[in-house]
Structure 1
Amino acid sequence: MDTLRADVVQDIRFARSTDGVGIAYAVHGSGPPLLIDACWLSHLQFDWESPVWRHYLVELGKIATVIRYDERGHGLSDRGVTDHSLDARVADLEAVVEDAGLDRFALMAMAQGGPVAIEYAARHPDRPTRLAFYGSYSGAHAAATPEDLEMYAAFEALIRVGWARPTSEFRRVFSSMMIPDGTEEQMRWIDDLQQRACDAETAVISRSQRQTQDSTWRLPELDLPTLVIHSREDHMNEFHHARALASQIRGARLVGLDSSNHIVLADEPAWPVFMREMTAFLQPDRAVARPVVDSDDVASLVSPRELDILRLAAAGFDNDAIAAELFLSVRTVERHLQNVYAKLGLSGRTARTAAVARLLSTS
């Protein structure tokens, strides 16, 4: 485990996708589950120390149990991967959902995660409770101009030439587009993240395959609460992508942030707006996950398998004994218990005791 603050801990786990690729994901926070289909430029451990991402991890963890993962070929996930197709990326998300033992959850697509989240929600309409897009799109080339296509080609050339260089002048082009208002420290962190996230070959291959992925045709199929939040002067993914998403998803709400940063920074006025919108958007899920007062309510909130595990815990079984009794792995038992705690609004070292006490209090 790694600590961000004394009271914030992330648990790093690994799922296995359908083609055998290992996908690293991390869980932290408390409350209803929020699965983040993050941007490709990520590294679960490196992000944890970040002057750019730290405030997201801390603040979102206060209102939700946050599950985020490194894309295939990136971060702590398996490297050297050449298949970055939409189907492969959706399979990765499905693998994380199943490995984490998620049933219903809010889904948030950041940046290049848009097509994947859209496709997942269309294929599994009974799983996401709500869908949020942040700085994202349904297709990278949707409404792309000839000038845009020329720029994409120039970016690929920059990656080939400058990604692996020990100095960061080529990578700084991308950093300055992501956070044009960032400090030098924040810029240097994004410079370094690019090399830590993946090698140059993976950056080129994954980028070229993502550019062809477009889930726009799926948007009319979506029927769930949707929030589209986007910086109005985003230099990486322009605001017209947000308008397109909101206009084609029934009932979607569009929120424009007064920022030029693709990643809104902690000290700019747009940040509290982002958190206010996300908190309000997740509130219905938080209401469902509020602590319950009797065993019938516990039974209605947790799955039958989770209830079996909780009853054995109440009988004094430890995780090893529960696993043996139910023919599960200890890891699976631990994940089911984490889901129980999230549904009951519990966290910390006393979560197990509190969950058992709540079950026993009216049984």
Structure 2
Amino acid sequence: MTRYAMSGDVSVAYQTMGDGPINIIAIPGIVSHVEFMHEMPGYTAFLQRLSKFSRVITFDKRGQGLSDKISGAPTLDERMDDVRAVLDSVGVQRAALLGFSEGCAMSAVFAASYPERVSHLVLFGAFVRYTELFPDADPQLVVQERMKYWGTGALMREVMASRASDPEAVAKFAKFERLSASPGAMKALQLLNLQIDVSDILPTVRTPTLVLHRTNDALVPVQKGRDFAAHIPDAAYTEYPGSDHAFWSGDVEALLGDIEEFIIGHRETESADLERILATVMFTDIVDSTRRAAEMGDQNWRRLLDEHDRLARLMIERHRGNLIKSTGDGILATFDGPGRAVRCALAFSAAARQMGLPLRSGLHTGEIEVRGRDIGGIAVHAASRVMANSAPDEVLVSRVVSDLVAGAGLRFDQRGAHEFKGLPGRWDLFAASA
């Protein structure tokens, strides 16, 4: 059932699903219609899964869908006012924000401005500046050209690429576009978005943050999501296979599980056959990769990354590990023995240094969840946070790892106790050396 919240003189349409105890408010992307979105394949099922452990709140920003139409486009301040109005109308003082695409920037600004009202920040398909989506063209001309096709479903090729060859699905998406906003309103919103840059705001976010992106996102290149996460202190970052920009489309099981675990700390709704094992998780990351890529140029940087990936596979196989995936400028791997994991990290770091690629490495041992070819669980998040604290050419491990390899001929130097956003307690970290 759709209800309305008053944000000043504007009526904002919203819906709720589930009964808590956690509250999640979904911040829409550039297109929304709280009722017709349920016609999109997978959308309702996605919300229903979230509603098993939370109350999910969805809304249309002013000027779109079932909310009041306005003159021009809503500013960032007005969009934040609408979020507060909806939360107040539902009677929610504090909620997790699930931002999508265009809504990610506003979600981050809201969390920085009203930290007392935001428990967690989950962002999917994020970008720092709208202008970055048009690197080889005049953004204003691109916006004007796109509006010629507004209402035809053309946007579906980028938002739900996996279904773009289905004529029925395209026709439904075309109706979604038309119901969401008129061409003039959509043009005004995009032209306003071209002026927004939140890069200076993101470092002030102190809310536990999880940034999610699909590796081959057809609308927002994956590097934009990586850059967004890099701007927020201690933000966790996860990539998924696929090209769909819409969070509810494609393979969403791992995505939903990660959101649930990040917000409530565990997965109550996971499938019964999910395999849990003890493993040592290793994350590595190339230091200052964005700057180096800009200096070298795309072609030379790609060749160097290919050599980095080849070296990673060789080192992991040599130490009997399992390469889970490449993270673009780093890798995620698991090992059944912490000693081999530490030695692999040290060897990989030394070899990469000879190539002129300084690495940061982080390791933690704990229970992981195996989901097909991917993994999840608190141990994965912990290893990522350990790596984030590593210095260039340093292999940093948690106390669990250092304790388990006692007597293995490895040396560990204390790096102090740290607090990891979103994870309980203080974590003692150690720098490993052979």
TM-score (structure 2 length as normaliser): 0.57
1:27 corresponding residue in structure 2: 16
What pairs with 1:261-300 in structure 2 (closer than 5 Å)? 261-264=244-247, 268=250, 270-284=251-265
Whole-angstrom distance in 1 between the partners of 2:181 and 2:174: 12
Note the alpha carbon deviations across 1:143-171, whole angstroms, 9 max, x for none: 55641x43662242231x2336xxx2xx3
Structure 2 gaps of 5+ residues are: 269-434
2:75 corresponding residue in structure 1: 85
What pairs with 1:120-269 in structure 2 (closer than 5 Å)? 120-141=110-131, 143=132, 146-147=135-136, 149-150=137-138, 153-159=141-147, 161-163=148-150, 168=152, 171-172=153-154, 174-182=155-163, 183-264=166-247, 268=250
Shift of 1:138: 3.0
Secondary structure of the structure 1 residue equivalent to 2:161? coil
Note the alpha carbon deviations across 1:26-74, whole angstroms, 9 max, x for none: 1111321001111131111111232252222222222210011101111
1:333 corresponding residue in structure 2: none
Which letter maps to 2:209?
Answer: T
CA root-mean-square deviation: 2.1
- Asked which structure has the greater CA Rg, the reply is 2
Note the alpha carbon deviations across 1:242-291, whole angstroms, 9 max, x for none: 1112112111111111011101555x4x311111111111214999xxxx
Q: Go from structure 1 to structure 2 and tell me whether the alpha carbon gap of 1:273 and 1:144 turns closer, same or farther (over 3 Å shift).
A: same
Shift of 1:228: 0.4
Shift of 1:117: 0.9
Q: Which structure carries more strand by proportion? A: 2
TM-score (structure 1 length as normaliser): 0.68
Q: Does the aligned pair in 1 maintain the 2:139–2:194 contact within 8 Å?
A: no
Q: Does the aligned pair in 1 maintain the 2:63–2:73 contact within 8 Å?
A: no
Secondary structure of the structure 2 residue equivalent to 1:192? helix
Shift of 1:198: 0.9
Q: Which structure carries more helix by proportion? A: 1
Which letter maps to 2:15?
Answer: A
Which letter maps to 1:162?
Answer: Y
Q: Does the aligned pair in 1 maintain the 2:76–2:106 contact within 8 Å?
A: yes
Which letter maps to 2:16?
Answer: V
Structure 1 gaps of 5+ residues are: 2-11, 288-363
Note the alpha carbon deviations across 1:289-342, whole angstroms, 9 max, x for none: xxxxxxxxxxxxxxxxxxxxxxxxxxxxxxxxxxxxxxxxxxxxxxxxxxxxxx
**How many residue pairs align between the two structures?**
265
Whole-angstrom distance in 2 between the partners of 1:145 and 1:105: 33
Instruction: Give the structure, 1 or 2, with the largest relative contact order (CA under 8 Å, sep 6 or more).
Output: 1
Note the alpha carbon deviations across 1:72-112, whole angstroms, 9 max, x for none: 11110001431421111111112212222211211111111
Q: Does the aligned pair in 2 maintain the 1:138–1:216 contact within 8 Å?
A: yes
